[in-house]
Amino acid sequence: MSKTHNFNAGPAILPVDVVKETAEAVLNFNGTGMGLMEVSHRSKEFDAVMVDAQNDLLKIMNLSPADYDVLFLGGGASMQFLMVPYNFLHTKADYILTGVWAKKAYKEGKYFGTANVAATSEDTNFNYIPKTYKFDPEADFVHLTTNNTIYGTEWKSIPDVGNVPLVADMSSDFLGWDHDFNKFSLIYAGAQKNIGPSGATVVVVKKSWLEEKGKKDIPTMMNYKTHTENGSMFNTPPCLPVFAVGRTFKWIERQGGVAAIQEKNIAKAKIIYDVIDSYPEFYKGSVKNHEDRSLMNITWNLNTPELETKFINEAKAEKMIGLKGHRSVGGVRASTYNACPVESIQALAKFMEEFYKNNK
């Protein structure tokens, strides 16, 4: 039986090797005779899983363990919308609004101080990445969302924010684009879109920023220092997701690192975008500027909602699932994350060609 072509936006496709390794660990973890979900998170066997995942991530991000800490927390990226300003917003912060998730982060920031809109693309329903900004040099931090799953836009280059600390929600393109990660004071990413199963959130935080600017008098579980000082083991971590995420990091290393992953993602996305661009009166790309197009979430519309439904249903019959656009915008969306194989991309492109010929 052939594997389904998985274009889900999240939870999403994982590397086959990672799925197999995780399945084996669920049954018998590291020769213990117990499943991964049954062993103590304080055991030396699981401690090695956590430490390896933290070290491997810093390695593939080209970050120094002397400068950055890696945390695995619960609560999803939505919890980070709250934790970032809880720890670092003393008076005011700048937010760049490029979609629903950026707006949610901005909303949480307003509970802790002044949240300024430094730039926004809401004027045209978030179909582009802003190119001009109004940054406050006295802001506690600048927050942006690097990829927008709903609207299909992505930051390819990061704006210059001067000496202000930069915070990024990278949930849906984490390790899919080779940024200079040293530019960031804090990065967070829900695992379930590009690096693992749901249940774990990665936080990479600059030690000096946390030490110098992190608030001290906040509740224990909301304080990043609680987790950095305890190696992400203050309370029971999401053990199974951490294992799978750690195996994904090793898979990325085997692919040649983030730079190699980026090149593959560029090539994969081009296959789909070329079909869209070949038939612009039929497949209507959602993103205004080509340079803003996401490599992770490719979005388009057809001429009628009925034709979109037909497209999605016929694709599903060909074992292509997850192509329905987000409920807030409709249309069609193909999520082509790191683990999505080129064979699935080629199958979708072939289907799009045939669907055009049969329905033009």
Residue 5 lies in a domain: no
Residue 53 lies in a domain: yes
Residues 161 and 286 occupy one common structural domain: no
In angstroms, how far is CA 348 from the centroid of its own chain?
22
* pLDDT tens over the chain, length 360 residues: 358 999 999 999 999 999 999 999 999 999 999 999 999 999 999 999 999 999 999 999 999 999 999 999 999 999 999 999 999 999 999 999 999 999 999 999 999 999 999 999 999 999 999 999 999 999 999 999 999 999 999 999 999 999 999 999 999 999 999 999 999 999 999 999 999 999 999 999 999 999 999 999 999 999 999 999 999 999 999 999 999 999 999 999 999 999 999 999 999 999 999 999 999 999 999 999 999 999 999 999 999 999 999 999 999 999 999 999 999 999 999 999 999 999 999 999 999 999 999 999
The number of CA neighbours under 13 Å toward the Cβ of 153 is 27
- At 2 the pLDDT is 55
Task: Give residue 203's domain range.
Answer: 16-255
Q: How far apart are CA 276 and CA 274, in angstroms?
A: 5
Residue 11 lies in a domain: no
Give the domain CATH number at 261: 3.90.1150.10
Residues 222 and 287 occupy one common structural domain: no
Which of 239, 255, 271 is the last residue before a domain boundary? 255
Inter-residue contact 192 to 164 (CB < 8 Å)? no
Residues 137 and 273 occupy one common structural domain: no
Inter-residue contact 184 to 168 (CB < 8 Å)? yes
Residue 52 lies in a domain: yes
Catalytic pick among 94, 140, 155, 193? 193
Residues 217 and 275 occupy one common structural domain: no
Residue type, 293: R
- At 1 the pLDDT is 37
CA dihedral 205, 210, 212, 213 (to 10 degrees): 110
Inter-residue contact 296 to 335 (CB < 8 Å)? yes
Which of 208, 239, 255 is the last residue before a domain boundary? 255
Residues 126 and 272 occupy one common structural domain: no
Catalytic pick among 56, 69, 101, 268? 101
- How wide is the angle at C-alpha 183 spanned by C-alphas 241 and 289, nearest 5°? 85
For 329, residues 6+ apart whose C-beta sits below 8 A from its C-beta are 125, 150, 151, 286, 299
- At 3 the pLDDT is 80
Residue type, 334: A
For 210, residues 6+ apart whose C-beta sits below 8 A from its C-beta are 69, 87, 224, 225, 228
Dihedral sign of CA atoms 11, 97, 332, 275 in order: negative
208: tokens are 């000096």
> How many domains does the chain fold into?
2
Residues 38 and 147 occupy one common structural domain: yes
Residue 150 lies in a domain: yes
Inter-residue contact 125 to 299 (CB < 8 Å)? no
Residues 33 and 151 occupy one common structural domain: yes
Is 169 assigned a catalytic role? yes
Q: How far apart are CA 234 and CA 264, in angstroms?
A: 38
Is 193 assigned a catalytic role? yes
For 312, residues 6+ apart whose C-beta sits below 8 A from its C-beta are 323, 324, 332
Looking at the DSSP bridge assignments, the partners of residue 320 are 5
Q: What are phi and psi of 195, to 5 degrees?
A: -130, 0
Residues 247 and 262 occupy one common structural domain: no
Residue 307 lies in a domain: yes
Q: What is the value of pTM for the model shown?
A: 0.97
Residue 135 lies in a domain: yes
Residues 121 and 158 occupy one common structural domain: yes
Residue type, 318: E
Give the domain CATH number at 171: 3.40.640.10
Residues 102 and 199 occupy one common structural domain: yes
Residue type, 6: N
Residues 240 and 286 occupy one common structural domain: no
Residue with the two structure tokens 């915008």:
329
Helix (H) or strand (E) holding 313: helix 305-317
DSSP E strands in 195-266: the ranges are 201-206
Residue 180 lies in a domain: yes
Which of 230, 255, 280 is the last residue before a domain boundary? 255
Residues 134 and 243 occupy one common structural domain: yes
Q: What are phi and psi of 215, to 5 degrees?
A: -65, 150
